[in-house]
C-alpha cells in the first residue's frame, strides 16, 4: 500500500533518476550526458514547471514554432539552451542560427552551405550535429552512411562547428545496434558528441555512448 505522505516523483525527477542509473551501470559521469527536454507542440504552461525545477536544455522541431514561444521565455530565464532537433530547410538557416544554441539535423551539402553563410553573416558559430540516416530509411532525414565522410569534409571546410553525430533509429525494432553503429561512426571521425536516444530508449543510448538524449513524452506526456 502506497504511503499518501510520500509524494510521487515529478516526470523530470524520474527521468533524471533513470539517467543516473544508466550512467552508473555504464560507468559514465552523469554530467557528461545532456538531457534535452523536447518541448515541441507544448506551450509555456507545460515548459515552465521544468524550468522552475532546474531543466535548462530544451529542444524544438520547427523554427517557426520556436520563434513564437522562446524569445519571451529566454528573456525571463536567460540561461536556457535551445536545440533544434527537427529537420531544417535551407531557407530557414539564418533564423535557426539566430535563435538556436545547437542544431542537430545537418544532413546535406546545401544546408551546410546555408548554415555557413548564416553563421558568417551573424558572426555566431552554432555547434552542429550531422544527422545520419542510420537505418537507411527512405522517408527519414539524415545523410547516408556512405555519404558521411564527404559531408563532414564539406562542413569542416565551411568552418561549421560539427561536434558530433545524431540519429533516429527505425521504429519498432531494437535500437541498440543502431546506437552502437553511430558511436563507431563518431569515433571513426574523431567526434565527441552522440545525439541519440529518446523517451523509450535513452537508457540504451546512454549505455552506448550518448552525450545528448532527446526526451519528450516521458517529460511532457503523450501529445494529443
Q: What is the CATH number of the domain that holds 23?
A: 3.20.20.10
Work out whether the CA dihedral 67, 70, 76, 81 comes out positive or negative.
negative
Q: Is residue 208 part of a domain?
A: yes
The mean pLDDT of 24-47, rounded to a whole number, is 96
> Tens digit of pLDDT for each residue in 98-143?
999 999 999 999 999 999 999 999 999 999 999 999 998 887 889 9
Q: Is residue 5 part of a domain?
A: no
Total domains in the fold of the chain: 1
Distance CA 194, CA 111 (A): 20
Q: Is residue 54 part of a domain?
A: yes
The residue written with cell numbers 531544417 in the block is 88
Q: Is residue 65 part of a domain?
A: yes
81-84/128-131 β-pairing: unpaired
pTM, two decimal places: 0.94
Q: Is residue 19 part of a domain?
A: yes
The residue written with cell numbers 545523410 in the block is 143
> Tens digit of pLDDT for each residue in 78-98?
889 999 999 999 999 999 999
Q: Is residue 135 part of a domain?
A: yes
Provide the residue range defining the domain that includes 194: 11-219
Return the minimum-mean-pLDDT range out of 5-14, 49-58, 62-71, 175-184: 5-14
End-to-end CA distance of the chain: 32
Q: Is residue 4 part of a domain?
A: no
Distances (CA, A) of 92 to 64, 66, 77, 197: 9, 12, 25, 26
CB environment 158-180: b (16+ within 10 A), e (fewer): bebebbbbbbbbeeeeebeebbe
Distance CA 164, CA 107 (A): 12
Q: Is residue 123 part of a domain?
A: yes
Distances (CA, A) of 145 to 142, 178, 204: 9, 12, 21
Amino acid at each position: 500500500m502506497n504511503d499518501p505522505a510520500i509524494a510521487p516523483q515529478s516526470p523530470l525527477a524520474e527521468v533524471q533518476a533513470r539517467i543516473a542509473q544508466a550512467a552508473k551501470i555504464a560507468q559514465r559521469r552523469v554530467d557528461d550526458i545532456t538531457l534535452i527536454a523536447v518541448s515541441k507542440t507544448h506551450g509555456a504552461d507545460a515548459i515552465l514547471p521544468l524550468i522552475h525545477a532546474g531543466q535548462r536544455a530544451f529542444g524544438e522541431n520547427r523554427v517557426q514554432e520556436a520563434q513564437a514561444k522562446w524569445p519571451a521565455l529566454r528573456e525571463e530565464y536567460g540561461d536556457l539552451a535551445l536545440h533544434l532537433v527537427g529537420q531544417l530547410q535551407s531557407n530557414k538557416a539564418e533564423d535557426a542560427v539566430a535563435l538556436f544554441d545547437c542544431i542537430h539535423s545537418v544532413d546535406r551539402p546545401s544546408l551546410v552551405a546555408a548554415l555557413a553563410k548564416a553563421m558568417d553573416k551573424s558572426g555566431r558559430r552554432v555547434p552542429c550535429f550531422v544527422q545520419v540516416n542510420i537505418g537507411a530509411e527512405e522517408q527519414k532525414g539524415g545523410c547516408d552512411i556512405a555519404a558521411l565522410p564527404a559531408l563532414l569534409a564539406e562542413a569542416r571546410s565551411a568552418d561549421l562547428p560539427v561536434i558530433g553525430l545524431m540519429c533516429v533509429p527505425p521504429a519498432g525494432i531494437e535500437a541498440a545496434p543502431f546506437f552502437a553503429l553511430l558511436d563507431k561512426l563518431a569515433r571513426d571521425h574523431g567526434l565527441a558528441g552522440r545525439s541519440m536516444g529518446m523517451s523509450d530508449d535513452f537508457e540504451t543510448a546512454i549505455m552506448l555512448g550518448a552525450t545528448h538524449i532527446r526526451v519528450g513524452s516521458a517529460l511532457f506526456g503523450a501529445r494529443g
